[in-house]
Amino acid sequence: MKIKVNLISGRTADQGAHLEAKTHKGYFDACAYCELSPADFERLGASEGSSLKVTTEFGDVVVFAKANEGNPDGLAFIPMGPWANAVLSPDTHGCGMPGFKGVPAEIEVTDEKPLDMKSLMKKYREA
């Protein structure tokens, strides 16, 4: 089952508290997840901590699932960081700013596990 969502990214206190500790597991826990509304969780058949594959026209990334009652249905949130940036839009619309919010994405449950920070970045060196 795949669902279509509108993907945004942003800051969280945990992500911020690990901004200078990005090699720690705490940073991975703070950033490698995707928040969805409880109804979207149900539509996906996901449970807290399931792996989700998030795909956009710019790439795909595997992150953990989190439910957030504050999210309206159809809106997905990934904290800012390298996991979010694997799938966000590089297009700046000619004003310098990439598309960090409002990217159409597809989400499905997967058996794959999210990559840790170093493994994720290693893919860029090998590309």
Q: How far is the CB of 123 from other proteins (least distance, A)?
A: 9
- Enumerate residues 6+ apart whose C-beta is below 8 A from 116: 25, 28
Residues near other proteins (CB under 8 A) are 6, 8, 10-13, 16-24, 58-59, 68-72, 75, 77, 80-82, 85-102, 117-118, 120-122, 124-125, 127
**Is the CB of 92 or the CB of 111 nearer to other proteins?**
92
- Enumerate residues 6+ apart whose C-beta is below 8 A from 70: none
102, 8 contact by CB (below 8 A): yes
Q: How far is the CB of 119 from other proteins (least distance, A)?
A: 10
